[in-house]
Amino acid sequence: MKTNTFITIKPLWHNQNQYIAIDFDYNETVKNYVMSFPDVKWSKSYKTFYTTYYKERINELFTYFRKQGWFVNYDAFKVTTKQLNTPVSQKPVIINKLPSLIDEQKIQIIKFKKWLEQKRFSPNTVDTYVEVTALFLRYINLKNITSISARSIEQFNYDFIFAPKKSVSYQNQCISGIKHFLDFKNIDIESIDIKRPDKDKKLPNVLSKAEVKAIFDATQNLKHKTMLCLIYSAGLRIGEALNLQPKDIDFERGLIHIESAKGRKDRFTLLSNGLIPMLKAYMNHYNPKKLLFEGRFNEPYTQVSARQVIKKSLAMAGIKKYATLHTLRHSFATHLLESGTDIRYIQELLGHNSPKTTMIYTHVSTTNLINIKNPFDNL
* Residues tagged active-site: 237, 262, 326, 329, 352, 361
* Strand, coil or helix: 100: coil
The dihedral sign for the CA sequence 288, 275, 204, 79: positive
Residues 177, 161 contacting (CB under 8 angstroms):
no
Phi, psi of 179 (to 5 degrees): -65, -40
Cα separation, 236 vs 248, whole angstroms: 13
- E strand or H helix at 225, and its extent? helix 222-234
Contacts 24+ apart (CB under 8 A), 102-109: 102/141, 105/134, 105/137, 105/141, 106/4, 108/137, 108/185, 109/71, 109/133, 109/134, 109/137
Cα separation, 197 vs 172, whole angstroms: 7
**Rounded (5°) CA angle 356-358-362:** 100
Strand order in the sheet with 249-250: 249-250, 255-258, 267-270
Contacts 24+ apart (CB under 8 A), 97-100: 98/135, 98/138, 98/139, 98/141, 98/142, 99/138, 99/141, 99/142, 100/6, 100/138, 100/141
- E strand or H helix at 308, and its extent? helix 303-317
Q: Please name the residues in contact with 44: beta carbons below 8 A apart, sequence gap of 6 or more.
A: none
